[in-house]
Amino acid sequence: MSEREFLRPRWRRGDMTIAEKLWQISWSYVLIIAVIAGIGVIMLYSAGNGSFDPWASRHAIRFAVGLGVMLTVALIDIRLILRYAYLLYAATLVLLVGVELMGHVGMGAQRWIDLGFFHLQPSEVMKIVLVLALARFFHGTDIEQVGRPTVLLVPLLMVAAPAVLVLRQPDLGTALMMVMGAGVIFFLAGVRLWKFGVVLAAALAALPLAWSLLLHDYQKNRVRTFLDPERDPLGAGYHIIQSKIALGSGGIWGKGFLAGTQSHLEFLPERQTDFIFTMLAEERGMIGGLVLLALYALVMVYGYLFALRSQHQFGRLVVLGVSTTFFLYVFINVAMVMGLIPVVGVPLPLISYGGTVMLSLMVGFGLILSVWVHRDVEMGRHG
């Protein structure tokens, strides 16, 4: 009888000491995340033209803080998280409304709340909190209930409310990410595929309407420019053309650390945030890009393993939901800088400079770890 077998009954009750929980944390997972963040620090050092100032050092500090937050969250009992999921959701929704109201006063497209030491972007927090709320909802429904369209109305509203608010900010990228992340949870929860078909068809039908009513001119331009970047090589298409030149000229092995001409001579826009992958690929070549993608894939793989070992639906949905959000960040950002999809303001997780994303991602990883630590906990419908 192994130690684990011996402990299991007590663990099922959720009765674990802090030391036991710490022991249960997947430290290899933490290590991978730290390695990725380390790459982030190195790239931001290069983005600062060989200086820790202004980005690399602050990124490192934020990651260290985030690491603490992540481990703290990992220790929180998963049932507690289940219990407060709706409350967190409601609170974040209030913040989103608050930003919406302040936005009219502020710079027109304000997305953050000034906390003094920190600019909090409620939309980033919502990406994670929405996963929690939906996971709690589907945790409490069985397959038959999921089959009933009226039951799905509630989670649909839970997605639609923040998505519309975010779209009005206007932040198309985040809104789409929320919808896609939520869609994955619906899918995992067992919603029939034809229903996705119906929603998709309805969305396509509504597209012309959305184009004229919801999208701002600059968003329309981004889509048009995506379809034909050379349309306006000095205007909207400039970023993506320069990004492709930077990537392509990096070749297989790259131009060397701090030697990316496109990045350092400022042909590349936003090299410390949205276009940092381009800079990595310019200086470190395709090899560098592949290594980073492999690390991201590894994070995903861990997620699947954690999810499948979880004894409760809530945990499974939380892990896969957060992992999928993480995946969407990576995919949208990398596809965007390579000109596969239109330019949307989505950062590269753990690498791009930015506080809220880092914090919400670390909270997300903390939740994943919490599910892993509490994988054997028995959970009722309401925790």
Which spans of this chain sit near other proteins (rule: CB under 8 A)? 142-144, 184, 187-190, 242, 244-252, 261-262, 265-268, 281, 285-286, 289-290, 293, 296-297, 300, 304, 307-308, 313, 316-317, 320, 324, 327, 331, 334-335, 338, 340
Closer to other proteins by Cβ: residue 42 or 300? 300
Shortest distance (Å) from residue 3 CB to other proteins: 26
- Backbone phi, psi, residue 47, to 5°: -60, -30
Closer to other proteins by Cβ: residue 122 or 342? 342
Residue with tokens 């038959």: 144
228 CB-side CA count, 13 A = 3
Burial string for 115-131 (b: 16+ CB within 10 Å, else e) reads eeeeebbbbbbbbbbbb
Closer to other proteins by Cβ: residue 119 or 309? 309
Shortest distance (Å) from residue 372 CB to other proteins: 15
Contact status, residue 351 vs residue 39, Cβ threshold 8 Å: yes
Contact status, residue 43 vs residue 276, Cβ threshold 8 Å: yes
Shortest distance (Å) from residue 96 CB to other proteins: 27
Distance between CA atoms of residues 18 and 24, nearest Å: 10
Closer to other proteins by Cβ: residue 96 or 146? 146
Q: Among the residues of 106-216, which ranges form H helices?
A: 122-139, 143-147, 149-167, 172-189, 193-213
Closer to other proteins by Cβ: residue 66 or 349? 349
Shortest distance (Å) from residue 225 CB to other proteins: 18
Shortest distance (Å) from residue 311 CB to other proteins: 9
The number of beta carbons lying within 10 Å of the beta carbon of residue 22 is 14
Shortest distance (Å) from residue 298 CB to other proteins: 11
Contact status, residue 299 vs residue 37, Cβ threshold 8 Å: no
What does the radius of gyration of the chain's CA atoms come to, in whole angstroms? 21
Closer to other proteins by Cβ: residue 22 or 245? 245
Closer to other proteins by Cβ: residue 225 or 262? 262
Shortest distance (Å) from residue 241 CB to other proteins: 9
Q: How far is CA 348 from CA 126, 166, 292, 334, 372, in A?
A: 18, 19, 11, 8, 25
